[in-house]
Amino acid sequence: MQTMDCRNFKEVLDSYLSDELAVETNHQIIRHTEHCADCRSEMAARRNLRGILRGAVTTITASPDFKNRLRAKLREEAAKDFQSNEVAQATRESFVSRWWAKFTMPQFALATAALLILLGGGLYLLAPPALAAELSQSLWQQAAGDHDHCAANWLKSVQEIDAPVTGADEYDPELKYLSKYSEHKALGLTFHSAHVCPMDGRRFVHFVYTRGNDLISLLITERDTQALKNGVIPNDDGVKAGLQQQIGLMDKYSVNAYQTSKHVVLLVSTLNDQQNAEIAEKLAKPISQHLRKIESK
């Protein structure tokens, strides 16, 4: 085993104090201090410095007044949640069953498979994306936020990712059939979860996929109802309004989005822009066709 000299010792000493070294390196450190008084005193000094630093900084605390305000604010926010729970309970059945009953019908799966064969023939080459100005910055943020908080945390917490998790069973037990959609396999996607996520007051239907080490979220949400109410019915751009935009919140994600007249579909992933766009495009046609069917009713 390599012996440790004073220079190496000082290089790794702080990691030793943070308990971040491998066992063998810990042993080397200890052996070195046994015969080197200088390094022994350096270790004591650094340990002492940390203690003083911690002591000095931890005297800083938030004021009791702030903590009270924080608690009050939190309760205020929670009260709103509890109130909207009642509304959600009441509307859940109608909202979700209408939405998903269509999405999970076997005929739809077949139609999708048939479409995919057509897509494979290269019929679906896209015009360069045009900007869909209607998508707000906050929606991008929320989509990336949902991907980051939900999908990324979800994946971390699940050891075995072979079995699809259908956390949305309580919304619709049929959701698990989504995992059988053939286009996912064609794109090399492994389906993991389908559920409904709230994010900053917005409701996303959230599909989680992986491809290799990449994590992919497909998010569907309703378009801004305020705009619709004001009579601003946006064009049904479909995927032609697909656009790529880096999000300030998390530079590491690629995001593509497109919209139908009442819904926005976003694809967020750790893939590069080109791969992300490719998946968004390939999934776009069956999804937007399906959404249009719902919307026309």
Partner 1 sequence: MSLKTEQQLTDFEELALGYADQLFRVALRLLRNRERAEDLVQETFLQAWRSFHRFETGTNLRAWLYKIMFNLHYTDLRRNKLELVQADEMIAETIAFDPPTPQFVTEEEVIAALERVPKDFQIPVMLADIEELSYLEIAEVLNIPKGTVMSRLHRGRKILRMELADYARSYGLRVAEN
Under a CB-based contact definition with an 8 Å cutoff, are residues 223 and 241 in contact?
Answer: no
Question: At closest approach, how far in Å is the CB of 288 from partner 1?
Answer: 26
Q: Is 173 one of the binding residues for partner 1 (CB under 8 A)?
A: no
Question: At closest approach, how far in Å is the CB of 219 from partner 1?
Answer: 14
For 283, phi and psi rounded to 5 degrees?
-85, -15
Question: At closest approach, how far in Å is the CB of 91 from partner 1?
Answer: 12
Residue 17 or 132: the one with the smaller Cβ distance to partner 1 is 17
C-alpha distance from residue 122 to each of 247, 250, 286 (Å): 30, 33, 15
Give the interface segment with partner 1, choosing from 80-88, 113-121, 209-217, 284-292 (CB under 8 A). Answer: 80-88
Q: Is 73 one of the binding residues for partner 1 (CB under 8 A)?
A: yes
163 is written with which tokens? 């079995």
* Residue choice 5, 24, 93, 170 for contact with partner 1 (CB under 8 A): 170
Residue 60 or 133: the one with the smaller Cβ distance to partner 1 is 60
Q: Is 163 one of the binding residues for partner 1 (CB under 8 A)?
A: no
Q: Is 62 one of the binding residues for partner 1 (CB under 8 A)?
A: yes
**Using CA atoms, how far apart are residues 33 and 12, in angstroms rounded to an integer?**
13
Q: Is 85 one of the binding residues for partner 1 (CB under 8 A)?
A: yes
* Residue recorded with tokens 């590069």: 272
* Residue recorded with tokens 């750790």: 270
Under a CB-based contact definition with an 8 Å cutoff, are residues 192 and 245 in contact?
Answer: no
Q: Is 60 one of the binding residues for partner 1 (CB under 8 A)?
A: yes
Residue 93's contacts (CB-CB under 8 Å, 6 or more residues apart) are: none
Which residues, numbered 194-233, are part of the site for partner 1 (CB under 8 A)? 195-200
131 is written with which tokens? 């900007």
Count of residues in contact with partner 1, rule CB under 8 A: 61
99 is written with which tokens? 């939405």
Q: Is 66 one of the binding residues for partner 1 (CB under 8 A)?
A: yes
* Residue choice 50, 98, 185, 293 for contact with partner 1 (CB under 8 A): 50
Which residues, numbered 257-286, are part of the site for partner 1 (CB under 8 A)? none
6 is written with which tokens? 């004073």
H-type alpha helices, the chain:
6-17, 23-35, 37-57, 64-103, 106-118, 137-146, 153-157, 182-186, 225-229, 273-295
Give the interface segment with partner 1, choosing from 34-42, 104-112, 230-238, 281-289 (CB under 8 A). Answer: 34-42
For 60, phi and psi rounded to 5 degrees?
-75, 125
126 is written with which tokens? 């896209």
Q: Is 83 one of the binding residues for partner 1 (CB under 8 A)?
A: no
Q: Is 110 one of the binding residues for partner 1 (CB under 8 A)?
A: no
Q: Is 248 one of the binding residues for partner 1 (CB under 8 A)?
A: yes
Helix pair 273-295, 106-118: axis angle to 10 deg: 130
Q: Is 90 one of the binding residues for partner 1 (CB under 8 A)?
A: no
Binding residues (CB under 8 A) for partner 1: these are: 10-11, 14-15, 18, 20, 38, 41-42, 44-46, 48-50, 52-58, 60-62, 66-67, 69-71, 73-75, 77-78, 81-82, 85, 88-89, 141, 145, 148-150, 153-154, 156-157, 167, 170, 195-200, 248-250, 252
